[in-house]
Amino acid sequence: MEVDFSNIKVIGFDADDTLWVNETYFRETEKRFTELLEGFETKNKIDQELFKMEMQNLETYGYGIKGFMLSMIESALDLSNNTVSHDIISEILDLGKKMILQPVELLDGVEEVLEKLYSNYRLIVLTKGDLLDQERKLEKSGLSKYFHHVEVLSDKKESNYKKLLNHLEIDINEFLMVGNSLKSDVIPILNIGAMAVHIPFHTTWTHEQVSQEEEKTNNHLKLNSVRDILKYLSN
């Protein structure tokens, strides 16, 4: 598609699976969780019940690893009818801690792109999740120096974006959002009149998936790599 980013002055980047690897660790942990609980239910049933628990808990715990840990523990108790052993609960906690302590793996081309855009644009991070965890990952990533502002949102709905852009005095017509999630990073942005670039990650959380119809009806630029964005922006 033809795009015109000539008015863009501020670029927002999602963090997880846009700047660095994230969802892969959740899927690996889910696999280990099903193995721990296989004495109580089938793999598919365990996966379904864990996802259902995560959805029930989103409003209470929000997004992030800590909420995921709590959902795994609650699911283990439910699936085992409260008979799950202390050892399994302890291992679930260890799985969560291991996720938190994972080294940050930058996606290919990310730092190269940020370095080239930094001098011509105001770059900001707009992500959701646990504040402490996201701050820790950003620090570990070594990318802090490229960003003028970092915002960890409770959610990424139109109202969240509008409120933040207004607070930061960013003109909607001068804002571009870059992210891997159509549901969180692209569609809400387009709905408020700003521009967005979709760079899919190979793994997408079920909660972030949208229908093919939703994908087709939203006018956005889809790229294979973050490096490709340099073709459309001055640097």
Most confident of 2-6, 13-17, 58-62, 209-213: 13-17
Of all residues in the chain, the percent with pLDDT exceeding 70 is 91
d(CA 80, CA 160): 38
Between 172 and 3, the higher pLDDT residue = 172
Nearest to 126 by CA among 8, 6, 10: 10
Mean pLDDT of the chain, nearest integer = 89
**Three-state DSSP class for residue 87:** helix
Q: Please give the pLDDT value at position 103.
A: 92
Q: Please give the pLDDT value at position 210.
A: 52
Q: Please give the pLDDT value at position 208.
A: 52
Which residue ranges form the domains of the chain, and what is each CATH number? 10-20+104-231 (3.40.50.1000), 23-100 (1.10.150.240)
DSSP labels, 132-176 = HHHHHHHHHHT-GGG-SEEEEES---HHHHHHHHHHTT--GGGEE
Q: Is residue 24 within 8 Å of 79, Cβ to Cβ?
A: no
Average pLDDT of the residues in 157-168:
93
Of all residues in the chain, the percent with pLDDT exceeding 90 is 71
CB contact set of 102 (below 8 Å; sequence gap of 6+): 25
Which helix or strand (DSSP H or E) is residue 125 part of?
Answer: strand 122-128
DSSP state of 10: E
The string of pLDDT tens digits covering residues 183-231 is 888 999 999 999 999 998 766 545 455 556 655 555 678 898 999 999 9
DSSP state of 232: T
Q: Is residue 224 within 8 Å of 109, Cβ to Cβ?
A: no
Q: Please give the pLDDT value at position 215.
A: 57
Q: Does 128 have pLDDT greater than 80?
A: yes
Q: Please give the pLDDT value at position 184.
A: 87
**Worst-scoring range by mean pLDDT, 39-53, 69-83, 195-209?**
195-209
The span from the first CA to the last CA of the chain, in angstroms, equals: 21
CA atoms within 13 A on the CB side of 168: 24
d(CA 65, CA 62): 10
**Worst-scoring range by mean pLDDT, 1-5, 108-112, 135-139?**
1-5
d(CA 37, CA 85): 10
Instruction: Report the DSSP beta bridge partners of residue 179.
Output: 198
What's the length of the chain?
235
d(CA 113, CA 227): 6
